Amino acid sequence: MNSRRFHLITGAAAAAALAFGMHHAHAQADTLKIGVILPMTGQQASTGKQIDAAIKLWMAQNGNKAGGKTVEVIVKDDAGIPDTTRRLAQELVVNDKVVALAGFGITPSALATAPIATQSKTPMVVMAAATSAITAASPYVVRTSFTLPQAAVGLAEWATKNKIGKVVTLVADYGPGNDAEKYFAERMTLNGGKVLDKLRTPLRSPDFAPVLQKVRDAAPDALFVFLPSGQGAQFMKQFGERGLDKAGIRLIATGDVTDDDQLNDMGDVALGVVSSHHYSAAHDSPANKKFVAAFEAANKFRPNFMAVGGYDGMRVIYNALNASKGARGEALLNAMKGQLFESPRGPVLIDAQTRDIVQDIYIRKVEKKNGQLWNIEFDSIKQMKDPGKSK
């Protein structure tokens, strides 16, 4: 091909592309899109259902304007499959030009997406996943959920004070389970306790029968459990059916197990279970009562800790869009850092250095009130940073 003619053609094409691009940029300048990726189907579907409902509540209460522009939320279903999460994130960044990515029901989904956030300089708000290391996977990650080290350390302290000396741990065999096991066991050992066995079940389709038999045989004072949201009811049923409660083995857990999404259907086997977490639907504050009432009016179910992570995630994005007057990229990210606000869970800080959440961790006990089961908070550790960051 004649090289001069080639230049003319490419020159014209470039001019056309530029014109189209400018037009395109102008058309989207008034709309800020937020790309939310959630497990709406599959094993983690309760997380998707809860966060989606919380985002809709946030929008209903706060409108679709932020940073002087119109906000549009695009929700995509990854079914909890990390390869799908990554593909959807890529499409949302490239095709939809989202200002922020959000959601992420499980740790592998968040980790699969982190490189895309880094490369495209897109803030990524983790509303659910809770492995400590996620915030280190990209400087664009900001977290509004919690970390398993936060939940586990407080419970170990409570166990020691309550004469629980010998324990067995049982966790889901992946990131957050590793964190829960490590931080609970380390703190128990530090406090003079003994960890008799460390058991694990797979993330997908776990069978609790064999591990519960092992727990029975080991006869600890207590069994410590972390399972991801959605598995608590099935576990609790088998714990009761195998008579572990009657054998005098105390069940203690992170609040993922006594999940408000399922707690009310667990029955009396859940009564008295002590857990630690950042949110209970029974949290006694005016802000939470308002949140729960509005959530229950809009949905036929109670908000759980995932809903609060989603609601606060939207708050962090809105606050940042407003403070930065609708900025993108690093300017939007910087406006997310250091935010301090009252969440339905209590006071919250987005640590500017780590981009992780600093929050109160509560010790709770399952009690029946007015015929319903609730996680009733009876103690707390104030403004806990992620213990996983200090190592």
Binding site for ligand PHB (CB under 6 A): 106-107, 129-131, 175-176, 228-229, 256
Cβ distance to ligand PHB smaller for residue 170 or 320? 170
- CA-to-CA dists, residue 58 to 52, 200, 288, angstroms: 10, 37, 14
**CB 105, min distance to ligand PHB, A:** 6
Q: Tally the residues of the chain.
A: 391
**Beta-carbon contacts of residue 238 (< 8 Å; ≥ 6 apart):** 208, 209, 212
DSSP per position, 290-313: HHHHHHHHHSSS---HHHHHHHHH
**CB 282, min distance to ligand PHB, A:** 18
Cβ distance to ligand PHB smaller for residue 84 or 131? 131
**Beta-carbon contacts of residue 13 (< 8 Å; ≥ 6 apart):** none
Spatial separation of the C-alpha atoms in residues 330 and 312, rounded to whole Å: 20
Cβ distance to ligand PHB smaller for residue 175 or 303? 175
Cβ distance to ligand PHB smaller for residue 145 or 343? 145
Laid out side by side, the sheet with 100-103 consists of: 65-66, 69-77, 31-38, 100-103, 124-126, 141-143
Spatial separation of the C-alpha atoms in residues 389 and 52, rounded to whole Å: 29
C-alpha distance across the termini of the chain, in Å: 61
**CB 229, min distance to ligand PHB, A:** 4
**CB 168, min distance to ligand PHB, A:** 20
Spatial separation of the C-alpha atoms in residues 294 and 80, rounded to whole Å: 28
**CB 52, min distance to ligand PHB, A:** 16
Cβ distance to ligand PHB smaller for residue 124 or 321? 124
Cβ distance to ligand PHB smaller for residue 69 or 200? 200
**SS3 (DSSP) at 163:** coil
Spatial separation of the C-alpha atoms in residues 21 and 225, rounded to whole Å: 53
**CB 310, min distance to ligand PHB, A:** 13
**CB 239, min distance to ligand PHB, A:** 18
In contact, 252 and 275? CB cutoff 8 Å: yes
Cβ distance to ligand PHB smaller for residue 36 or 71? 36
- Beta bridge partner(s), residue 36: 75, 102
Cβ distance to ligand PHB smaller for residue 175 or 206? 175
Among residues 52, 95, 98, 58, the alpha carbon closest in space to that of 77 is found at: 52
**CB 279, min distance to ligand PHB, A:** 11
Spatial separation of the C-alpha atoms in residues 9 and 3, rounded to whole Å: 10
